[in-house]
Amino acid sequence: MNKKYNISKYLAYLFLITVCLIWVVPMIFGFTTSFRSQGEVVNEGFRLLPVNWIVDNYMAILENTSSAPILRWIGNSLFISITHTLLVVVVISITGYGYSRMRFKGRDVLFFTLLGISFFPNVVNIIPLYRIVDILGWVNTPWAMIVPGLAGMGNIFLVRQFMKGVPKELDESARVDGASDFTIFFRIVLPLIKPVLIVGGLFSFIGSWNDFLWPVIVYTDVQKMPVTAGLLLLQDIYGNYQMVGQLMGSAILAIIPTLLLFLFAQKYFVSAINLNAGIKG
């Protein structure tokens, strides 16, 4: 019995280590290549490690602040994602409270109607959404990416579900004591639903940081775009001329912020994904 477990244990390890290697090698390859000179790349061809480690690629990337301002792009992305995340937390907490704790006629009908509509595939609304954003004067501004995503129902659904698990006695006894909805919301409910807000915020951050289609559509001004759309341009700028080191360096710079976030918030990510799928981890 034990022996059988041991064989399968080693098989599992072998499998997992192989998979992890496959998963990690591209990132390492991108990282090391970003330290190789163009001459070396062209003449030596493929190598996992550079012959000479140089930082010239990064110097060149950072020097170009006009047609490929990568730091600016990362800054734009940070501003967009952080603002979006903060607003998402505000919107989903007050709205989630409204749909689970306030009493008004047709509350649940309204909620599920909105939820149903939101299942409508968003490929249909993306073209008119551009027009609306254009009318608002938001094309080429951060608002084009910050605001429309606030309308989503997914996170509100999550908050509403979560609030159902928060004992009603707490706010009802407060209500008896004469507390208003605002007091109950800020003093009692908000602290209790913090975990689900972190989940919503985390996903909103990653979602808006990595969004690709929408920024490619709404940003044409090179100085205003977030980093995902910028890297698409880079493919033209450096890619056509195969400036491999510069391409890799830019990709690596763009990866760093979310990687840092993951390192610091790792435990939230796992519980977040499971909460989202309705599983208690």
Please give the residues from 75 up to 104 whose contact with another protein meets the rule CB under 8 A: 91, 94-95, 97-99, 102-104
The CA distance from 238 to 180, in Å, is 59
Nearer Cβ to another protein (62/170): 62
- Choose which of 5, 109, 167, 264 interacts with another protein (CB under 8 A): 5
Interface with another protein (CB under 8 A), residue total 129
Closest CA to 100 of 151, 150, 158: 158
- Choose which of 32, 50, 258, 268 interacts with another protein (CB under 8 A): 258
The CA distance from 103 to 182, in Å, is 14
Q: Which stretch binds another protein (CB under 8 A): 78-86, 158-166, 193-201, 247-255?
A: 247-255
Q: If binding is defined by CB under 8 A, does position 172 make contact with another protein?
A: no
Closest CA to 73 of 197, 191, 231: 231
Structure tokens at 35: 């330290």
The CA distance from 270 to 268, in Å, is 6
Residues 197-236 that bind another protein (CB under 8 A): 206, 209-210, 212-213, 216-217, 219-223, 227-236
Total residue count of the chain as it appears in this document: 281
Beta carbons within 10 angstroms of residue 272's beta carbon: 22
- Choose which of 49, 51, 59, 65 interacts with another protein (CB under 8 A): 65
Closest CA to 80 of 126, 20, 147: 147
Q: Are 93 and 276 in contact (CB under 8 A)?
A: no
Residues 146-165 that bind another protein (CB under 8 A): 147-148, 150-153, 156
Q: Which stretch binds another protein (CB under 8 A): 78-86, 129-137, 159-167, 190-198?
A: 129-137
Q: Are 63 and 275 in contact (CB under 8 A)?
A: no
Residues 6-45 that bind another protein (CB under 8 A): 6, 8-9, 12-13, 15-16, 19-20, 22-27, 29-30, 33, 37-39, 41-43, 45
